[in-house]
Amino acid sequence: MNLIAFKILAFINIIFLGIIARSRKLVDGNTSQNLSKIVFSFTLPAAIIHAFGTTTVTLDAMYLVLLGFLCTVIPFAISAYFTQNTPVSDRKLYLLNISGFNIGCFALPFIQALFPPFAAVLTCLFDAGNALMVTGGSYTATQMLLAQTEDRPCTLNPFKRLISSIAFDTYLVLILVALLNITIPNELIAITEPLSQANAFLSLFMIGLMINFHVDKQKLEKLCRLVGGRILLSTVMSLFVFFCLPLSLEHRLVVSTLVWSPIASLGPVYTLWIKADYGLAGLANSITIVLGICALAFFSSLQMTML
């Protein structure tokens, strides 16, 4: 238990270092954007390759790709239904931030440190399904919904946005490799290991640079609706997975943890692109990071007592 606490504190410390670096202006305003490019292009794909290469991937675990997609698309559909009469700017905010999880840059480093090795692969498989919405699906679907409301055509190509994501492409290739029962060469694992080890620090430091807890009092109601909606959905999904799905205890613990991951880092970015309140989206992201840390602490201690 003490070891888990110290590991969590070590990761929280990295996030705080990012907050301090930004507040003391040790980095410039473009650092978080530059770091995100490094993480999504190099360290995250390397961490995915290393996770698949160091653990046996069984075909019966592939259902996690579908489960990851469902845990992302169902909250989006619920939000789309309940926000039909909401002002357009607010609807954009809710649709782009109510679903989707920051797994690669947040949950994966924690899972690799706090859970047994097999949990990292389960996390990657779940994230592959999640990525279908996070890397462009939710943005395109939001644009299509708004286009229907405003009676105008939508020209976005969701497939182009998906295949432009290096992390998503890595997932696709490695899932295909696993399905074909091909062994990842030890040389590739050795090459990616240093980059994989750097992913935790860079990802969490980047999150620290992005955290912002400033809010306009007039926007508190919207913030409470957004964060409250995510808490409600995460609670329902977590309880359903843990008590209702016919999965092994290990799988249920991992998935129950993952549905508490924070808002995807692209959520506020898409909110900016679509000309909605990206500042409020960033604040909601920060709050869900705190909630995610609490959930990881709870489920990691639970797995220590139950496994």
Task: Write out pLDDT tens, residues 134-146.
Answer: 877 888 888 888 8
Rounded CA-CA distance 166/21 in Å is 28
Q: What per-residue confidence (pLDDT) applies to 174?
A: 87
Instruction: Give the pLDDT band of residue 34 (cuts 50, 70, 90).
Output: confident
Task: Give 151-194 pLDDT, tens digit per residue.
Answer: 555 555 656 666 777 877 888 888 888 888 888 999 999 999 99
Q: What per-residue confidence (pLDDT) applies to 2?
A: 64
CA neighbor of 1 nearest in space, from 242, 302, 290: 302
Q: What per-residue confidence (pLDDT) applies to 57?
A: 77
Rounded CA-CA distance 227/233 in Å is 10
Domain-by-domain residue ranges, the chain? 2-306
Which residues lie closer than 8 Å to 75 by C-beta, 6 or more apart? 98, 99, 229, 230, 233
Q: What per-residue confidence (pLDDT) applies to 155?
A: 55
Q: What per-residue confidence (pLDDT) applies to 149?
A: 63
Straight-line distance from the first to the last Cα atom of the chain, in angstroms, rounded to the nearest whole number: 13
Class of domain 2-306: mainly alpha
Orientation of helix 220-244 relative to helix 278-306, angle to 10°: 30
Provide mean pLDDT across the span 274-300: 87
Q: What per-residue confidence (pLDDT) applies to 270?
A: 82
Q: What per-residue confidence (pLDDT) applies to 123?
A: 93
Rounded CA-CA distance 21/260 in Å is 27
SS3 82: helix
Q: Do the Cβ atoms of 52 and 184 come closer than 8 Å?
A: yes
Task: Give 60-107 pLDDT, tens digit per residue.
Answer: 788 998 999 999 999 999 999 999 989 999 999 999 999 999 998 889
pTM across the whole model: 0.84
Alpha helix (H) residue ranges in the chain:
2-23, 31-38, 44-53, 63-82, 88-97, 108-114, 118-132, 138-149, 158-163, 166-179, 186-210, 220-244, 249-258, 266-273, 278-306
Proportion of the chain above pLDDT 70, given as a percent = 94
Rounded CA-CA distance 200/15 in Å is 10
What is the 8-class DSSP label of residue 58? P
Which residues lie closer than 8 Å to 284 by C-beta, 6 or more apart? 97, 223, 226, 227, 230, 263
